[in-house]
């Protein structure tokens, strides 16, 4: 019964990831088409000035944490499902589950701390000079 | 509780990678798993690398940055391509799991009909969307669009 519940959460997490990671990819890999959320269009979306401007935006801080949690669950549960198909012993299945929970929670704490610290740092930093490279 | 009977994994890797007579959807399933594993491996490292920005370390920014080297740029594009496939094929799987685009149940009268033919237009539509994403990302990666 629990596995059915986890599988439903796994699918729901996939849909959330599709939206949030889709937005992330639109910014990072399709920026030449979308120009979404960049203060300096003359440099890449991954440039420090653009990265800091997103960190200063609470929308990104919250969605980063949401994406982090859903993606960790979706990814690690998916890997667990694949490994369990190897018909492992019960003790091994339990050990893997514990390992993935510890790994997932550890990385979630690290990423959440980083998102909020980067947000606080970006608010303290001087305002990014918009469109510097455009000569304005 | 009864002991589960275990069998040797006789087919080995081929048991996972071989599609046998199951058609294109089976290969889509295999590729879904492979792209998922690739994205997960990248994602676990991505969390650590991007967390360093909290300490002011941007390993990906600047010309001399480690992660700005061409090999990592190619790797990043491969992750993007994997995402494009995994996302749209995953959306198809969610639709199918929810019972959309699989057709109405029919009585199993010989010669039996498979629902795969009913599902295939959804598969093709999702692959077209994935391909659009892939080529758009490819155009940006190659610097064809500024």
**Which among A33, A48, A75 has the least Cβ separation from residue B58?**
A48
User: Å from A11 to nearest chain B CA?
Assistant: 7
Residue B19 pLDDT > 70: yes
B77: CB partners within 8 A, 6+ apart: A29, B137, B138, B141
User: What are the tens digits of pLDDT across the range A11-22?
Assistant: 999 999 999 999
Q: Mean pLDDT for chain A?
A: 89
For A16, counting Cβ atoms within 10 Å of its Cβ (0-12 exposed, 13-18 middle, 19+ buried), the class is middle
Average pLDDT over residues A3-14: 94
Query: Is the pLDDT score of A135 beyond 50?
Result: no
Q: How far is CA B54 from CA A63, A120, B115, B128, in A?
A: 17, 9, 51, 39
The reply to whether residue A25 touches residue B137, judged by beta carbons under 8 angstroms, is yes
Name the closest residue on chain B to residue A29, using Cα atoms: B137
Cβ B139–A75 below 8 Å, yes or no?
Answer: no
Instruction: Map residue B145 onto helix, strand or coil.
Output: coil
Is any Cβ of chain B less than 8 angstroms from the Cβ of A78?
yes
pLDDT for A128 beyond 70:
no
pLDDT of residue A74: 98
> What is the pLDDT averaged over residues B9-29?
80
Write the ipTM: 0.89
Domain ranges of chain B: 20-141
Of B58, B62, B83, the CB nearest to A21: B83
Q: What is the mean pLDDT of residues B42-53?
A: 97
* Residue B1 confidence class, pLDDT cut points 50, 70, 90: low
What residue ranges in A4-109 does DSSP mark as E strands?
Answer: none
All structural domains of chain A, each given as residue ranges with its CATH number in brackets, are 2-135 (1.20.1300)
HSE of A38 in the Cβ direction (CA atoms, 13 Å)?
25
| CATH class of residue range B20-141 | mainly alpha
Contact B146/A at CB under 8 A: yes
Residue with tokens 């992330």: A24
Residue A136 above 60 pLDDT?
no
pTM: 0.88
């Amino acid at each position: 019964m629990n596995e059915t519940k986890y599988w439903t959460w796994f699918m729901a997490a996939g849909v959330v990831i599709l939206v949030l990671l889709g937005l992330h990819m639109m910014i990072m890999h399709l920026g030449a088409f979308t120009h979404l959320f960049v203060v300096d269009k003359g440099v890449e979306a991954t440039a420090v000035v653009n990265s800091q401007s997103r960190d200063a935006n609470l929308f990104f801080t919250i969605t980063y944490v949401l994406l982090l949690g859903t993606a960790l669950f979706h990814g690690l549960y998916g890997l667990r499902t694949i490994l369990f198909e190897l018909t492992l012993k019960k003790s091994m299945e339990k050990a893997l589950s514990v390992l993935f929970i510890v790994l997932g929670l550890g990385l979630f704490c690290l990423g959440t701390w980083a998102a909020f610290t980067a947000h606080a740092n970006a608010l303290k930093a001087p305002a990014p000079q918009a469109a510097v490279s455009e000569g304005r | 509780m009864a002991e589960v009977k275990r069998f040797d994994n006789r087919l080995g890797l081929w048991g996972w990678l071989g599609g046998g007579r199951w058609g294109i959807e089976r290969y889509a399933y295999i590729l879904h798993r492979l792209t998922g594993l690739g994205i997960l491996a990248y994602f676990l490292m991505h969390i650590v690398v991007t967390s360093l920005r909290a300490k002011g370390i941007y390993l990906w920014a600047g010309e001399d940055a480690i992660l700005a080297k061409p090999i990592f740029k190619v790797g990043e594009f491969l992750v993007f391509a994997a995402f494009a496939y995994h996302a749209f094929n995953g959306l198809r799987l969610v639709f199918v799991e929810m019972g959309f685009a699989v057709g109405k149940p029919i009585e199993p009268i010989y010669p039996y009909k498979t629902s795969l033919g009913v599902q295939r237009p959804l598969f093709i539509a999702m692959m077209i969307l994935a391909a659009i994403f892939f080529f758009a990302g490819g155009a940006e990666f190659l610097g064809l669009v500024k």
